[in-house]
Structure 1
Amino acid sequence: MRRWGLTVPLTGVPLPQHRELIERLPDLGYTDAWSAETAGTDAFSPLLLASQWAPRLRLGTAIVPVYTRGPGVIAMSAATLAECAPGKFVLGIGASSPVIVENWNAGAFTEPYARTRDTLRFLRAALAGEKVTEEYPTFSVSRFRLERPADPAPPIMLAALRPGMLRLAAREADGAITNWFAPADVPKVRAEVGPDLELVARIFVCPTEDADAARKLGRLLISSYLTVPVYRAFHDWLGRGEVLAPMHEAWAAGDRKKANAVIPDEVVDELIVHGSPERCRETLQSYVDNGLTTPVISLLPTGGDPLEQVEALAPR
């Protein structure tokens, strides 16, 4: 079954006002609603509402950071949502970034691969209802058992950018979640996870024919995200190291304006989907044609009505 997802909540729309839109998503052709967690809503609350508003939707977190909650709290939150959306919830977890973990949540961003692996293994056991006592390399758990394990237990997907984490997802998880790549990059990522694993990606979509406005917004996002070390390494691996080097140099020198200005149009056009709704849909489909399983639209503000744009971007 072809999947077509939407990131919720939409920017600028109060969470309670999403009900009418989310109720309509299945009839518009959307199969999935995925949440994010940075400094806006938490990952679980929007999906809990969506589970009651549109029970046909599959719901997923993309992602829950493994450092900002204890392992047991992640398990409890996931089991609660899985109980409210039986068979329709996917738990996406990942390392997140030093900014979110250390600067905003007073954690220590150490051994991200190992911490993500250990959290995955704990959650696999805990969500199955097992009593867990284990000395993992990055943390220990003693006699934890969920009082309300969901049946069925939710699938677990891993946020992954580079080969090591992608291969971990292929070995031990039920899918991989990635972002910030172009349709032409999908085969390289797909090659690391194999042909059968579900590959989910959040894709930034700016449905406007004002290319200058879309590129201006895209440059702001690219310089903010791709200067983060994990994303820089990702794009070095994808082959954009040389073309993005001027941006990194300007950013390191503290010249944010220049960092934006030196990002080439072609890089923005590769990483930000923009144009008419029809053109945006065609580009999203090109991701799928190249091996992506589940495109998840992250709608960027254009000044237009976001609810109308979600309808216009629905699959045809």
Structure 2
Amino acid sequence: MTDREIHLPVAAQSSIDGIAEITQHAESEGYVRAWMPETWGRDGVTTLTTLAERTDRIELGTSIANVFSRSPALLGQTAATLQEVSNGRFRLGIGPSGPAVIEGWHGESFDRPLRRTREYVEIIERVVAGEGLEYDGDIYSLSGFRLRFDPPETPPPIDVAGMGPKSVELAGRFADGWHATTFTPDGLRERLGDLRRGAELGDRSPDDIRVSLSLPCCVLEDGDRARELAAQHLAFYVGAMGTYYRKSLARQGYETEANEIAARWASGDQAAAIALIEDELLDELAVAGTPERAREQLQTFTEIKGLDAVALAFPRGASPADIDATVTAMATDN
């Protein structure tokens, strides 16, 4: 059975208490894990520490912590500490993010993202295991230190986010899991082939690599409003968040639509960009509408062989009430 997870809102919430309430609600509804994104809102570490203190069972993770704004050793320390404060419920999701955030927000050069991600995985694995940090990579050369407290009895797994063939292959070769986002069912199946190839290169079994899909989701009795919110969300990512989402959508057979959405958004005509997310494309990329319709849509994704979890991602424009309704409607028992 495919696990049901949530991807906490990327949009600013009124308070950290609101984020905690969403997570507590998901826990009460039986969701397996809550993923915390980190963009230019609240930082993931402080938020996840708060969530660990205010929940009991639901697992927690970053999706994603980028590999530019913190050193790999610091991310290793952070992962070990979050594993401690959550009593073994933490999973570290990392990835390059994209130039828009890394250069525009952090002021770092978006240089060699794949090589950097690989070295982060290798270094973090050594840190959380309590090993002496002797590492000579292309980007990082480290020596002389090890974690200054007892490492976690169970090291937190390390997942990698990726959208393109090479980044997904990297996850299959080196990571404990892959975070997928903005995929059609057929697009996801194609990338799962890259994951399997990476696993073969790493002499690993694909069954040992956990795959979680972040799936835009809005489920309301007012199905038209739910679909509008989901379309707005997708248009923003394709149009405003650099080239990664646009290129990923193009690779999945929607090159014309992806380019037109980006062009309309760049020209300031956001309404036209949103209108280009027509019903067929929306149903390929999201779960949105009335509860009955959404549950049927979700099954299209949960039946994909090799997908271990679906993380419901709430649209940027969703209100707390919209999020609450979606969590309830899409709980496993409903």
TM-score scaled by structure 1? Answer: 0.89
Q: Distance in 2 between matches of 1:40 and 1:133?
A: 34
Matched, 1:174 2:176: yes
1:208 to 212, 220, 227: 220
Q: Which residue of 2 aligns with 1:164?
A: 166
Alpha-carbon distance, 1:294 to partner: 0.9
Query: Contact between 1:122 and 1:132, CA under 8 Å: does it hold in 2?
Result: yes
Query: Contact between 2:76 and 2:124, CA under 8 Å: does it hold in 1?
Result: yes
2:243 to 188, 207, 229: 229
1:91-240 pair list within 5 angstroms = 91-148=92-149, 149-194=151-196, 195-196=206-207, 197-227=209-239, 228-240=242-254
1:293 to 283, 295, 308: 308
Q: Deviation per CA, 1:244-278, whole angstroms, max 9, x where unpaired?
A: 23223434555444433334332123223111224
Percent of counterpart pairs with the same letter? 32
Q: Deviation per CA, 1:4-32, whole angstroms, max 9, x where unpaired?
A: 11123686452224555544534422111
Q: Which residue of 2 aligns with 1:309?
A: 326
Q: Distance in 1 between matches of 2:2 and 2:47?
A: 23
Q: Distance in 2 between matches of 1:38 and 1:82?
A: 22
SS of the aligned residue for 2:144 comes to strand
Query: Contact between 1:185 and 1:238, CA under 8 Å: does it hold in 2?
Result: yes
Q: Deviation per CA, 1:50-89, whole angstroms, max 9, x where unpaired?
A: 2233332221110000001122221111111011224321
Matched, 1:40 2:41: yes
Query: Contact between 1:66 and 1:115, CA under 8 Å: does it hold in 2?
Result: yes
Greater shift after overlay, 184-193 or 121-130?
A: 184-193
Cα 1:248–1:14 shift into 2, 3 Å: closer
Q: Distance in 1 between matches of 2:153 and 2:189?
A: 35
TM-score scaled by structure 2? Answer: 0.85
Query: Contact between 2:4 and 2:310, CA under 8 Å: does it hold in 1?
Result: yes
Q: Distance in 2 between matches of 1:80 and 1:311?
A: 31
Cα 1:262–1:17 shift into 2, 3 Å: closer
Q: Which residue of 1 aligns with 2:202?
A: none
Query: Contact between 1:202 and 1:297, CA under 8 Å: does it hold in 2?
Result: yes
Cα 1:181–1:212 shift into 2, 3 Å: same
Q: Which residue of 2 aligns with 1:66?
A: 67
SS of the aligned residue for 2:212 comes to strand
Structure 2 residue runs without a partner (length 5+): 197-205
SS of the aligned residue for 1:233 comes to helix
Question: What amino acid sits opposite 1:225 in the alignment?
Answer: Y
Question: What amino acid sits opposite 1:140 in the alignment?
Answer: S
Q: Which residue of 2 aligns with 1:3?
A: 3
SS of the aligned residue for 1:110 comes to coil
Structure 1 residue runs without a partner (length 5+): none
Q: Distance in 2 between matches of 1:87 and 1:303?
A: 29
SS of the aligned residue for 2:160 comes to strand
Query: Contact between 1:203 and 1:296, CA under 8 Å: does it hold in 2?
Result: yes
1:47-62 pair list within 5 angstroms = 47-62=48-63
Q: Which residue of 2 aligns with 1:88?
A: 89
1:282 to 275, 283, 296: 296
SS of the aligned residue for 2:143 comes to strand
SS of the aligned residue for 1:246 comes to helix
Q: Distance in 2 between matches of 1:101 and 1:83?
A: 29
Question: What amino acid sits opposite 1:207 in the alignment?
Answer: V
Q: Distance in 2 between matches of 1:52 and 1:294?
A: 24
Q: Distance in 1 between matches of 2:73 and 2:258?
A: 40
